[in-house]
Chain A
Amino acid sequence: MLFALTTQELMERPDLWEAVHRLRYKIFVEEMGWTDLKRPDGFEIDQFDHDEAVHQLVIRGGELAGYQRMLPTTRPHLLTEVLVDLYEGTPPSGPRVWELTRYAVAPGYRDGKRGVSTVGTELIAGFVEWGLKRDVNQVIIEFEPMWVLRALQLHFLATPLGYQRTYGSQQVVATLLTFNEHTLDVVRSRRNHHAPVLARGTPDMLGMRQAS
């Protein structure tokens, strides 16, 4: 199940807040080596964890298994403030365009393969469902070029926003992905799972396995 929470809702749940910022630290600072984000407390937090950000959490068996953060493009976001060399011209913005950042699958949920895990595809199904519900049909993502291929496999319409750059050992390209109901169908068929993934409300306390 995927839960979409505002920053306010996330802060009201210290267990979730901690899990989110720790997972982000583990993946982006420790694994990917984004040392600018290093902090002694082991939480990764930046200026975009503001009150309009939407945090999407995949919970499996009472644990945080996956995470991504959606930012509105109607105010400064990662592409316009930090990753400015990734776009040419004027980047798209508006109420129907959001930026997807900090896509992360917890180490125990990667299925041990090179491909995208079920938590990974749940995050994808999740943002598409979430977007279609609130009339959002485009997301900006800064990702490795192989994700362009994967996005096309899932029938997103992909448009590069600039040239790909090398950051450390990583290649990154800013891409605009456009989606509709058909994209959601394709994502669901690829997952062999047609039920909606977006849950209402907030998850149970972490560490509590639901009976059933």
Chain B
Amino acid sequence: MSQFDRTLEYMDQLQHADTAAAVCETLLGVTSHFGLTALMAGTVPQPGTPRGQQKDHVLLCDWPVEWLERYVSRNYVDHDPVVSHMKDLQAPFQWREASRAIRVDRDSGEVMGDASEFKLRDGLAFPLVTLEGQIVMVSLGGEAVQLSGAEFGLVSLVSTYAIGRAMQLHTQAVNTIDHIELTPRERECLKWAAVGKSEWEISQILGISEHTSEKHLLNAKSKLGAVNRVQAVAEAIRRGYIS
């Protein structure tokens, strides 16, 4: 089998991967031949994104756990030379170029030093831009990274397919979960609206003001993406929030 046929096989495996973990495993199966054993890919948080939200930006991750913890808890994303280099550039690059390209200040020196401690001595990173204009960064690292120009191209191409697959899976997951949470009060108001009670009646039943019951219903309506109260009730029943 030619080298290119093998590449196509990787792509095929990626397209059939059903979980982010399977995508990671396939990708690292390819890149580990070149000493790239750790992987992190995700959308780049705006500077100053609260730590609690930084992990939500991760799409693929097979990275030393403690390193990730430290990275997030020390807010390294704002000082990482790889991240800043990547934002300026549209092409793949090697980590060592990034630390050379920018003046390494105390904070970014610390990031790179800490990375080596976790056996991430060098790696490569590249930015991609989604349809919506969001930057997705892929970073692969390891202890002894060795790859030619052609292999560099191969790795970045396979990574692009991997991140594409991860985004497909991510969108599917978001669509299934739907992320709707109704408060107990909103649910209660909807339940009474479903049996034909007016806002005033609901307020009397629940012992709240009419204005408050109206507000609960409006909130529920917007969470359910409904245009009016009838649709909100129908949608809440369909999703099983009320019966």
A residues bordering B, Cβ < 8 Å? Answer: 88-89, 113-116, 121, 145-146, 148-155, 157-160, 162-165, 169, 171, 173, 190
Contacts and interface: CB of A to CB of B under 8 A. Distances in A.
B38 interface: no
A148 B161 contact: yes
A145 B157 contact: yes
Given A152-B161, A163-B150, 15 more contacts: A89-B2, A115-B129, A115-B131, A115-B132, A115-B134, A116-B132, A148-B157, A148-B160, A149-B136, A149-B160, A149-B167, A163-B4, A164-B153, A171-B91, A190-B131
Given A113-B133, A153-B131, A160 B8 contact: yes
30 contacts: A88-B2, A88-B4, A89-B2, A89-B4, A114-B133, A115-B130, A115-B134, A116-B132, A116-B133, A121-B131, A145-B157, A145-B160, A146-B90, A146-B128, A146-B129, A148-B157, A148-B164, A149-B130, A149-B167, A150-B130, A152-B161, A152-B165, A153-B164, A157-B15, A158-B164, A160-B157, A163-B154, A165-B153, A171-B153, A190-B131
Contacts of B17: none
Nearest to A115: B133
Contacts of B2: 88-89
- Looking at chain B, what size class is its interface with the partner chain? 20 to 34
Nearest to A155: B168
A164 B4 contact: no
A173 B133 CA distance: 20
Interface in B126-152: 128-136, 150
Contacts of B39: none
Contacts of B202: none
B163 interface: yes
Contacts of A115: 129-134
Contacts of A145: 128, 156-157, 160
B75 interface: no
Contacts of B133: 113-116
Describe A's contact surface by its main secondary structure: mixed
A149 B168 CA distance: 10
B20 to A, nearest CB: 14
A7 B181 CA distance: 56
B11 interface: yes
A177 to B, nearest CB: 12
B7 interface: yes
A86 to B, nearest CB: 11
A202 B28 CA distance: 51
B54 to A, nearest CB: 21
A169 B11 CA distance: 26
Contacts of B92: 171
A163 B131 CA distance: 23
Given A114-B135, A190-B131, A152 B4 contact: no
Contact of A160 (B7, B131, B171): B7
A165 B160 CA distance: 15
A163 B129 CA distance: 20
Interface in B49-74: none
B164 to A, nearest CB: 3
Interface string B1-20: 01010011001000100000
Interface string B157-184: 1001101110110010000000000000
Nearest to A144: B90
B8 A173 contact: no
Nearest to A114: B133
Among B2, B131, B157, the most chain A Cβ lie within 10 Å of the Cβ of: B131
A155 to B, nearest CB: 7
A152 B164 contact: yes
Contacts of B161: 148, 152, 158
Contacts of B164: 148-149, 151-153, 158
A163 B154 CA distance: 7
Among A121, A145, A159, the most chain B Cβ lie within 10 Å of the Cβ of: A145
A92 B154 CA distance: 21
